[in-house]
Amino acid sequence: MDSYHEGVIGLLRSAWNLPSAVPLPPRRVWRDWALVAIVAACAITEVLIRAAELPRPLLSVVILLAVTPAFLWRRTKPLLMLVIVFVAMAPIEVFLPDSILYTGVVAIVLPYALFRWASGRELVIGSCVILGSLGLSFIRGGGLDDLIGGFALLLSVAILGMAFRYRASSRQRQLERIKVLEREGLARDLHDTVAHHVSAIAIRAQAGLAMAAHDPDAATAALEVIEAEAAKTLGEMRSMVRVLRQGESADLAPSPRLADLEQLAGTRPGSATVAVRVGGDAESVPPTVAAAVYRLVQESVTNALRHARKVTRIDVTVQADAGGVQIAVANDGEVALSATPGYGITGMIERAALLGGTCQAGPAPGGGWRVIAVLPRVGWTS
C-alpha cells in the first residue's frame, strides 16, 4: 500500500513540476482575431434569432462578448483565460441555465489550450476549475448523462491537447539533436582543417629559421608556403563562419575525394616524408564517405607531424573494395605521451562511428604510431 501511495505522489509531483510546452506558443496571428470576430457575430446572431425563448438574452450576449477577447491570450496565458471565462459564465450556468447560448461551446478551445501550452502547476489548477464547472452543471440538475457526456468531451479535448504537445516537444528534441550533431560536425571539420594548416605553418617556420642563416632562398620558400597555408586557413574558416550565419549560404569548395589524398604526399623540409597509396575502386566510394576518409587521413598525418618525435616517414594506405574502406596511417617516430588527450583522436573516432565504422590509434608493435580505421560499406548504405 505504501508503494502505491508513493507511486501516486511521485506521479502528482511529476505533473506539478511539468514545464511549459516547448517551443514557446506563437504570437497572435490573424486567425485569432478572426475567431473573436466570428464568435461575436455568431453570439449576436443567435440572440436575435432566439430572443423570444431566452429569459435574459441581453445578459447572455453581454457576458459572452465580454469574455470573447480572452481567446486572444489563450496560448500565452491559458490558465488565467480559462478561469476568467469559466468564472464569468458560472452565474448564468447556475442561475439562468436556459439563457446559455449555443455559441458558448467555443469555450472548449480554452481547455485545449491549457493542456497544449500550460505548465504542470497550471494544468493541475486548471483541471480543478474544469471539474468544478462540471460539478456545478450537475448540481443545477443537469443529470448524470450530461455529466458523463461533458466529462468525456473535456477528456477528449485534453488528450488532443497533450498529443499535439507531445508531438511538438518530440519535434523540438529532434531539431535540438540535429543542431548538436551539426555543431559536432563543424567542430571536427574546424579542428581537422585548422590543425592541419597551422601544423604545416609551424613546421615550415621551424625549417625556415633553421635554414635562414646559410640558405636564404630556402627560408624565403618557407615563408611563401606559410603565406599560402595561412590564406587557405583563413578561406576555410570564412566558409565555416558563413555557414554559421543565419540566412547566409557559403560557397563551399567541393568535398575532398580519395584522389585528393595525393596532395598530402611529399617531403616537408626538416620533417618527414609522407607516402600515400590509394588502392581498389576509389570511384565507388560516395562523396560523403570520401570526405570522411580524407579528414581521417589528414588528422592522422597532422598528429604525426605535430606530436611524434624524430619522425622521418609517414605511410598512408587507403584500400577501397566491396567490403568498404580500410585506412592505415603509420609513422616511425617516437611516441610522445600527452598528459591530456586532445580532440583530434576523439573526433576521428566520432567521424568513423557516424559511418558505422571504427577507428583505433596507438603504438605500433615495431615502434612508432599507427592509426587503423575501417568503414564498412554496410555502415553507409544501410
Give tens-digit pLDDT for 205-217: 766 777 777 777 7
In a domain, 115, yes or no: yes
Q: Distance (Å, rounded) from C-alpha 207 to C-alpha 325?
A: 35
In a domain, 77, yes or no: yes
CATH number at residue 321: 3.30.565.10
In a domain, 152, yes or no: no
Q: Distance (Å, rounded) from C-alpha 368 to C-alpha 265?
A: 19
pLDDT tens digits, one per residue of 25-63: 777 888 889 999 999 999 999 999 988 888 888 888 898
28 and 90 fall within a common domain: yes
191-230 per-residue burial string, b: 16 or more CB within 10 A, e: under 16:
bbbebbbebbbebbeebbeebeeeeeebbebbeebbeebe
Containing structural domain, residue 46: 2-142
119 and 204 fall within a common domain: no
Helices (H), 118-143: 120-137
Helices (H), 212-286: 216-244
Most confident segment among 48-62, 165-179, 315-329: 315-329
What is the average pLDDT score of the chain?
Answer: 81
Reading the block at residue 294, the C-alpha cell is 580524407
Note the pTM of the prediction, 2 decimals: 0.56
pLDDT: which is higher, 31 or 24: 31
274 and 206 fall within a common domain: yes
Helices (H), the chain: 2-16, 30-50, 57-67, 78-95, 109-117, 120-137, 144-211, 216-244, 287-307, 343-354, 377-381
Most confident segment among 63-77, 185-199, 284-298: 63-77
287-307 and 343-354 helices, crossing angle to 10°: 160
Say what the pLDDT of residue 285 is: 87
194 and 92 fall within a common domain: no
> Per the structure, how many domains does the chain have?
2
200 and 269 fall within a common domain: yes
CB-based contacts of 57, cutoff 8 Å, min separation 6? 47, 50, 51, 99
249 and 197 fall within a common domain: yes
In a domain, 49, yes or no: yes
